[in-house]
Structure 1
Amino acid sequence: MKPSPIVSVVIPTRGRPETVCVAVRSALAQSFESLEVLVVIDGEDGETEAALARIDDARLKVLSLPEPMGAAAARNGGVRAARGPWIAFLDDDDEWLPEKLALQLDAARGSDAALPVVCGSYWARQDGRDALWGRRRPGPDEPISEYMFCRRSLTYGENALATSVLLVPRELMERVPFDAALRRHQDWDWALRALALPEAGLVYLELPTSIYNMAEGTGRISAAPDWQASLAWVEQRRPLLTRRAFAGFLATECVTRAVQAKAGRKVVSGLLRRMFSEGEPDLRAIAMVASVLLLPPGLRSKLRDAVRFMRS
């Protein structure tokens, strides 16, 4: 009888046979070999099944849901099927560097937390260029909601809680599963709820371990300017956010996206009022809103890209 793996890798997928095979191979190529890779196909997808069948590795297991239920439900299904005491998530269009699991397991085992949540920096890849994201370590007494939503710069990529970077105990995933009703902010939602437990603790690893692919056409839901869904989510999780974090989220995820969606002056004004009446915006949140309202979109995009790649 084969020994149980130490790490179970969970990869949800649908309609991406080429990219999911790249993701799977990056997991199977880890220097840490005591693992299983569970690919959960979200509904009927013969092309993806055929592509995965060509990967010859006994550690790969393919599960298929009877009908599409979304990435969160697929991840939860993978956790239920997992045999390892540790769970690592990988999106089907991302990749891991070879030392990812070995480095994160060492960090987890050195943590004082009973249920350590390991995150860290990663490479955001677009147009053949890499920028370092997840570049900020949380402060020792910093509320997790402020680490996630109170930026210290005007560019994306500060916090290190992307799904493809996480390594967590299976016990924690069983106690706090992903919310299968959500289509947006699934990783943030899970992190807020999981790290609210007193036994859980965030462990940050500075060395980049993953590649987050940002190429156009990947279909990432997080890229769509759906400010209404973001507002509905933050209202649902409002008790888990400080006032500063609430204002920061409205600035970056609601006001910015409402302007992108051309939602109109009334909508934007209403969001701004809530920033100040229900939250405590800091100078960076105010500067973020000002840049969105005052700078032309083309200039703002060029400035953001310039700063982003200066950091890489």
Structure 2
Amino acid sequence: MGTTELITVIIPVYNRENIIKRSVESVIRQSFKQWKLLVIDDCSTDETFAVASSISDPRIQVLKTRKNSGAAAARNAGIQHAVTPYISLLDSDDMYHPDFLKYSIQAIESTNDSYGFTYTGVGDIEAYKEGEPVSRSVWTLPDRFSKFKKPYLYQLQVGTAAGITIKKEAFDKIGLFDESLRAAEDTDWFIRASEFYQGLPIHKNLIFKDNNLSDRLTINYSKNAFAYKVIMAKQSQEIQNSVFLMTRWYYKSMWLNFYSGNKKEATLDYKVLKAHKLADLKIVLTYFSGVILSRALFIKLHKKLAKLK
């Protein structure tokens, strides 16, 4: 690796032979040139490794994990391999705006030691047009939560698919992604990170997601429901000591379990809320809708209700 490289982009990939070139080429097109790209193939069963390896650029290295272990393990392998001061994470089905790295480096190099990472606005890949990034409203942590020890436990709308650039030293301090999680490993990491670092939003659409793929982890409800139970166990002390957190986390766990078809686990979550007198009208209606309706009808109804202000 050359001494001029400032940032390593890590793409974990599994069975993406048809689209891996799209994400890789979005890195190659970057206006900022001091990058290294690590493509971590998580033991794909198709031609992903061969396709990625065929892309000719000395800044690109394609590695393969020893066994299929999930995106968290693949990202960790890349992080451990990286030696640059900054790391950016890109999903194999997403792509960067050509100026993603330029704006990310400018932002993260302007921060002080209290900031551990930056994140950007997210657009839909179907509507993507190259050109000047569009300014937009990007989520920021509400001030009322900033006083808490782990503020992202209270509210978090940042994930690894949100144009994340992280200081390598943050991984040294916080640790890596939890490899036992096959979803929401980014939620778990950012909650832990928020005890020590702030995140800096960049108010531009600089990453674009492919929302048409059927196997995105964001719609794998069983994996997400399991992950949230693990996170809740890790953060149990803080959650049990806060009415706000108990309501927030058990309610989300409840509807995620209904989404995954696990009415038994959803009922256990509801019973916790009811026992602590936290089951308000919204929670009660959500619970009985989940019990009565089919999984598909409940998901459709809940998504509509979630859009209401």
Q: Give the TM-score taking structure 1 as reference length.
A: 0.79
1:220-250 per-position Cα deviation (integer Å, ceiling 9, x unaligned): 2332232344323322332455542342232
1:50-102 per-position Cα deviation (integer Å, ceiling 9, x unaligned): 21133221111111122222221211111121131100001111111112122
Q: Secondary structure at the match of 1:17?
A: coil
Is 1:51 the equivalent of 2:46?
no
Alpha-carbon distance between aligned partners in 2 of 1:228 and 1:84, rounded to the nearest angstrom: 33
Q: How does 1:85-234 map to 2 (within 5 A)?
A: 85-124=85-124, 128=126, 135-142=138-145, 143-148=151-156, 159-175=157-173, 176-197=175-196, 200-217=197-214, 219-226=215-222, 227-234=225-232
Alpha-carbon distance between aligned partners in 2 of 1:205 and 1:280, rounded to the nearest angstrom: 36
Name the % identity.
19
What is the aligned-residue RMSD (CA, Å)? 3.3
In structure 1, stretches of 5+ residues that fail to align are 149-158
Do the aligned partners of 2:36 and 2:59 also contact (CA within 8 Å) in 1?
yes
Alpha-carbon distance between aligned partners in 2 of 1:135 and 1:301, rounded to the nearest angstrom: 26
Alignment partner, residue 75 of structure 2: 75
Change (3 A) 1:249 1:267: same
Is 1:32 the equivalent of 2:32?
yes
Alpha-carbon distance between aligned partners in 2 of 1:184 and 1:134, rounded to the nearest angstrom: 26
Alpha-carbon distance between aligned partners in 1 of 2:122 and 2:39, rounded to the nearest angstrom: 22
Do the aligned partners of 1:10 and 1:87 also contact (CA within 8 Å) in 2?
yes
Change (3 A) 1:279 1:166: farther
Q: Secondary structure at the match of 2:182?
A: coil
CA shift for structure 1 position 129 = 6.0
Say how many residue pairs are matched.
Answer: 288
Alpha-carbon distance between aligned partners in 2 of 1:237 and 1:223, rounded to the nearest angstrom: 24
In structure 2, stretches of 5+ residues that fail to align are 129-134, 146-150
Do the aligned partners of 1:115 and 1:172 also contact (CA within 8 Å) in 2?
no
CA shift for structure 1 position 107 = 1.9
Alpha-carbon distance between aligned partners in 2 of 1:302 and 1:133, rounded to the nearest angstrom: 29
Do the aligned partners of 2:87 and 2:168 also contact (CA within 8 Å) in 1?
yes
Q: Give the TM-score taking structure 2 as reference length.
A: 0.79
1:176-227 per-position Cα deviation (integer Å, ceiling 9, x unaligned): 2111222221100111112212xx211112212111222243x223322323
